[in-house]
Amino acid sequence: MAAIADLVFFLVIARAVFMLARGVMEGLNEGRPPAPPVTGGQLVRDPVCGVYVTPSNALTLPSGTGTAYFCSEKCRQAWRKP
């Protein structure tokens, strides 16, 4: 009957690993930055740091595809000089 005991042991370990992995995945999901609010005016994404800003408050710089928006002068400088 050793084979059945080994199988049960394996299943218990596999389940524990699965539960642990799922817990880690959920932890990673909780660590994600919140999605930008979609209500109200549109938001634009700072291509340097990834922060969402409102165009009226953002610093701008003309780019090949239109206008790039930045949260700060630091990001705009970084975009201008990669």
Binding site for Zn ion (CB under 5 A): 46, 48-49, 51, 71, 75
Q: Nearest distance from residue 60's CB to Zn ion, in Å?
A: 13
Say how far apart CA 76 and CA 58 lie, in whole Å. 10
Q: Nearest distance from residue 66's CB to Zn ion, in Å?
A: 18
Q: Nearest distance from residue 24's CB to Zn ion, in Å?
A: 30
Say how far apart CA 20 and CA 13 lie, in whole Å. 11
- Return the amino acid letter for 71: C
Biggest CA-to-CA distance, the chain: 75
Token code pair at residue 67:
């206008």
- Residue with Cβ nearer Zn ion (43 or 51): 51
- Residue with Cβ nearer Zn ion (7 or 77): 77
